[in-house]
């Protein structure tokens, strides 16, 4: 078995599972309780220093 075939087999089986796991973790990350406060702060940081009256 050549190196290409070995890497192709890995990408076809375990690589897909690893990418799926990374995708699920990154999609769930903002909903965890710890990072939520930092995410809210980052989302509202563009409004700092603006007056409400204008």
Q: Do the beta carbons of residue 39 and residue 30 sit within 8 Å?
A: yes
The pLDDT of residue 22:
96
Q: What is the pTM of this model?
A: 0.52
Strands (E) across the chain are located at none
Question: CA–CA separation, 16 vs 11, rounded Å?
Answer: 6
Per-residue pLDDT of the chain (54 residues; tens, 9 = 90+): 799 998 888 888 888 889 899 999 999 987 888 877 787 888 888 888 877 655
Tokens at 33, concatenated? 């309780």
Dihedral in degrees, nearest 10, Cα atoms 31, 32, 34, 36: 0
Task: Give the CA distances from residue 18 to residues 12, 22, 34, 41, in Å, rounded to whole numbers and listed in that order.
Answer: 11, 6, 24, 31
């Amino acid at each position: 078995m050549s190196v290409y075939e070995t890497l192709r087999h890995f990408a076809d089986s375990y690589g897909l599972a690893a990418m799926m796991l990374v995708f699920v973790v990154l999609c769930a990350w903002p909903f965890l309780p710890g990072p939520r406060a930092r995410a809210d702060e980052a989302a509202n940081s563009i409004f700092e220093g603006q007056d409400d009256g204008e």
